[in-house]
Structure 1
Amino acid sequence: MPDSRIKTLAPAELDAEQNALYDSIVTGPRAEGPQLFALRDGEGRLNGPFGLMLHVPGLGSALQELGSAVRYRTEMTSRVREIAILTVAAATDSEFERYAHERVGRAVGLRDEEMAALRRGEFRSEDATEQAAHNFCRHLLEGTTTLEDEDFRRFEAGLGQPALLELVVLVGYYRTLSQMMHVFDVRAPTGLGDA
């Protein structure tokens, strides 16, 4: 975490509770398969929000578990999930989430022009579910955290109640991470090339 307002902890500096959290992050589902973004730096320190979580391991453990559930245990497709995450990243100007999830997005089939449109808040998809998910997330991110009955029925018809619940949690989770990283000035890793 270059130029951060908080110390980035090296593995040797961790106490038992922090070490358990560290291990759950680096050996859990995020560590499986191809590594699309740098979870750790060259000295083993965690990048992005994960390094922040180590400073409050009780809360950090709950946060990382929620993030793992959002990423790996929902019913939404990988494309819908990444569209939603990148919608939050754009709305909250989250440098790290854009860095990480544009790489994941590319791996699940998002094209460069789609990701550029997400950054501009102008995403359009011919897939009705993808478009509804993006529109729903934008609605939640643009000031109001509730829905009028007519809007609720429209989004429910396009997505279904389980997807609405999953997207509400996803938006809240990634908004929380973005706020944490903004407050502590945590940015994307440097020297790794652009997405």
Structure 2
Amino acid sequence: MTERLTRLRPDDMTPEQAEIYACFTDGRRADPAAAFSLVHPDGGLVGPPDAWLRSPPLGRVLERIGWVLRFDLELSDRAREIAILLHAFHRASPFELYAHRRAGLAAGLSGAEIEGLASRTEPAFRSGEERLVFATTLAVLDRRDLDDAEYDAAAAELGERGVFELLALLGYYDLVATQLAVFGVEPPVTG
């Protein structure tokens, strides 16, 4: 499949689109030390935010949710990336795998642990949080639900907030993976 969207460039953006664009070119996301960039070398955006520019009202909301999921969760960075990578492998989402292999490394997962997630191989857990995120994510991916014992175990380790954050994370990445698949968004070609 070819990419179905023509990348919007800054000179072609409306003021509302430029506002969203600025969220990815300024501040923490634009830090050169960031695990990955969503800015194309020509100045446009790559990945999900390029699609979001088509609807600025939704784009603003999705950008904000993405920010919170990336920077403001109680889940640890490693636990968050374990969940995202399990989801990305489950959905076979090339762009998400591209971005979150990098983010996983930055969060402290090894390359072998990341690739092991493709076959659902448990990484070397550093905490009960990581173990419960792994198990809970697999249950949600496989059955879209948790039985009472699974929920109780997750809530005991993660708390109600942590369970909610994990479910929100998985739901968001399901939405993103669907958008990327339908629009044919591929990862950037890297040298």
Q: TM-score, normalised by structure 1?
A: 0.91
Find the counterpart in structure 1 of residue 49 from structure 2.
50
Query: What do you get for the CA RMSD once the two structures are aligned?
Result: 1.6
AA in 2 matched with 1:158:
E
Query: 1:129, CA displacement in angstroms?
Result: 1.6
Unaligned residue ranges in structure 2 (runs of 5+)? none
Find the counterpart in structure 2 of residue 142 from structure 1.
142
Count how many residue pairs are aligned between Structure 1 and Structure 2. Answer: 190
SS class of match (1:85): helix
Q: How many angstroms apart in 2 are the aligned matches of 1:47 and 1:121?
A: 28
> RCO (CA 8 Å, sep 6+): is it higher in 1 or 2?
1
- Kept in 2: contact 1:29–1:72 (CA 8 A): no
Q: How many angstroms apart in 2 are the aligned matches of 1:76 and 1:89?
A: 18
Find the counterpart in structure 2 of residue 38 from structure 1.
37
Find the counterpart in structure 1 of residue 118 from structure 2.
119
SS class of match (2:118): helix
Q: For the structure 1 residues 33 and 76, does the alpha-carbon distance in structure 2 shift closer, same or farther, using more than 3 Å as the test?
A: farther
- Kept in 2: contact 1:79–1:108 (CA 8 A): yes
Q: How many angstroms apart in 2 are the aligned matches of 1:123 and 1:43?
A: 39
Query: 1:157, CA displacement in angstroms?
Result: 1.7
Q: How many angstroms apart in 1 are the aligned matches of 2:122 and 2:29?
A: 27
Q: For the structure 1 residues 183 and 143, does the alpha-carbon distance in structure 2 shift closer, same or farther, using more than 3 Å as the test?
A: farther
- Kept in 1: contact 2:136–2:150 (CA 8 A): no
Find the counterpart in structure 1 of residue 177 from structure 2.
178
SS class of match (2:5): coil
Query: 1:33, CA displacement in angstroms?
Result: 5.3
Unaligned residue ranges in structure 1 (runs of 5+)? none
- Kept in 2: contact 1:89–1:98 (CA 8 A): yes
Query: 1:31, CA displacement in angstroms?
Result: 1.7
- Residue identity (%): 33
